[in-house]
Amino acid sequence: MSSRKYKVMVVDDDESICNSLRKLLDSEGYQVISAANGAEALETFHREQNQIDLLLVDLNMPIKNGWVVLNELMEVNPSLPAFVLTALPHQSELAEAAGVNALVEKPIDVPGLLQLIQRQLVGSAPSPLFQPAGHRAFPFHWLRASRDAQRAQWAESPGTPYDHWGLNE
């Protein structure tokens, strides 16, 4: 990872997922800010928008759902990379049409997510300087639910899909 400390905004009403993502991303050297619902996400974003490098937004949230939040945030900053997090089925076409960079299904494939984030922030993301205003020319990625995490959910021992990563303590 580069020496620059990227800031990721995580928006999810599930506290355990939010905390797990915070621990994971902190351990990888990212700064994390979080919001527990759509209204809080909009308020936080407007306060810190010039410092945020990537959005991770859950779709199914109270007050304002993820699609509403993403639409408003991408209006403010169309060049900001955004990943949708969801356990809802059949969201890939909507996500791609909305112009998000990635659809990340839950349970999250942690190595896949880290690779996507790394590639997006450090890799060959298109420069906003060469894009027309309001244009989002990002490749779309679909990160399917983790099979390992699903097996962990179905296992007889108690736990969450992220226990094997040491993220839920």
- With respect to residue 169, please indicate whether it lies within any of the assigned structural domains: no
- With respect to residue 69, please indicate whether it lies within any of the assigned structural domains: yes
What's the confidence (pLDDT) of residue 49?
Answer: 87
User: Which residues are CB-contacts of 66 (< 8 A; sequence separation ≥ 6)?
Assistant: 11, 38, 57, 58, 59, 60, 84, 85, 86
Each of the 169 residues of the chain gets a pLDDT tens digit; together they read 456 799 999 999 999 999 999 999 999 999 999 999 999 999 999 999 899 999 999 999 988 999 999 999 999 999 999 999 999 999 999 999 888 999 999 999 999 999 999 999 987 444 444 444 444 445 678 788 876 544 444 333 344 445 544 444 3
Which uninterrupted H or E stretch holds 56? Answer: strand 54-58
- With respect to residue 32, please indicate whether it lies within any of the assigned structural domains: yes
Give CA–CA dist 154/136, Å, rounded.
39
- Please count the structural domains in the chain: 1
Q: Which residues pair with 82 in a beta bridge?
A: 55
What would the two tokens of residue 169 be? 């303590």
Amino acid in position 133: A
We report the CATH number of the domain holding residue 48 as 3.40.50.2300
- With respect to residue 167, please indicate whether it lies within any of the assigned structural domains: no
- With respect to residue 2, please indicate whether it lies within any of the assigned structural domains: no
What's the confidence (pLDDT) of residue 147?
Answer: 63
- With respect to residue 109, please indicate whether it lies within any of the assigned structural domains: yes
Give CA–CA dist 7/52, Å, rounded.
5
Q: Which domain holds residue 109?
A: 7-123+133-160
